[in-house]
Amino acid sequence: MSQMEVEIKIGGRSFEVACQQGEEQYLLSAAQLLDTEAQVLVTQIGRMPEARMLLMAGLMLADKTAGLEERLRETQDKLKAVEGELAEVKAQPAPAPEKVEVAVIPDDLTDALAEIAARAEALANTFDEAQAG
């Protein structure tokens, strides 16, 4: 791959940086991260020598990166612990199926209840007619 020059801005200053063709977006993303830190310095301190600004911005970015790496390690450790627990659970035999009894209402009882309901409704209708008439 051929090299190319890319202009980046950090802390309000322009720099020409060489990179491999196809890697421009990575360079611009990295420059944006560094510029964000440099802008904080410029806002807080004001104008400072280029080398000092780049050094301080780089150190601030490195500090953030170190914090993220520590969080990543902690998360990976937690993930390993959870994966271990999951493996233990998967290794255990499945519990024995539980026997569940479902009550079955006999057909003749269902028929008898339907007959009683029909008689009760007929009586209610007769009562309603007697009250109305």
> What are phi and psi for residue 15, nearest 5 degrees?
-140, 140
Model pLDDT, residue 66: 95
pLDDT at 131 over 90: no
Q: What percent of the chain has pLDDT over 90?
A: 62
Cβ distance 8 to 27 under 8 Å? yes
List Cβ neighbours of 68 (8 Å cut-off, separation of 6 or more): none
Q: Distance (Å, rounded) from C-alpha 89 to C-alpha 33? A: 43
Is the pLDDT score of 62 beyond 90?
A: yes
6 contact partners, CB below 8 Å, separation of at least 6: 16, 17, 18, 19, 24, 27, 28
The better pLDDT of the pair 106, 73 is held by 73
- Which one-letter DSSP state was computed for residue 92? S
